[in-house]
Amino acid sequence: MPKMTFIEPDGTRREVDAPLGLSVLEIAHKHGIDLEGACEGSLACSTCHVIVEPEWFDVLQEAEEDEEDMLDLAFGLTKTSRLGCQIIMKEELDGLAVRLPGGSNNAMK
Q: What is the CATH number of the domain that holds 86?
A: 3.10.20.30
Mean pLDDT, the chain, as a whole number? Answer: 93
Pick the closest to residue 96 from 54, 59, 50, 56 (CA basis).
56
Q: Which has more confidence, 43 or 105?
A: 43
Query: Residue 105: inside a domain, yes or no?
Result: no
Provide the domain limits for residue 59: 3-99
pTM above 0.85, yes or no: yes
Query: Residue 109: inside a domain, yes or no?
Result: no
> What pLDDT digit, counting tens, does each position of 11-37 carry?
999 999 999 999 999 999 999 999 999
Query: Residue 104: inside a domain, yes or no?
Result: no
Query: Residue 19: inside a domain, yes or no?
Result: yes
Distance CA 46, CA 69 (A): 9
Number of domains in the chain: 1
Task: Please name every residue paired with 81 in a beta bridge, in sequence order, or none if there are none.
Answer: 51
Contact 13, 6 (CB under 8 A): yes
Query: Residue 106: inside a domain, yes or no?
Result: no
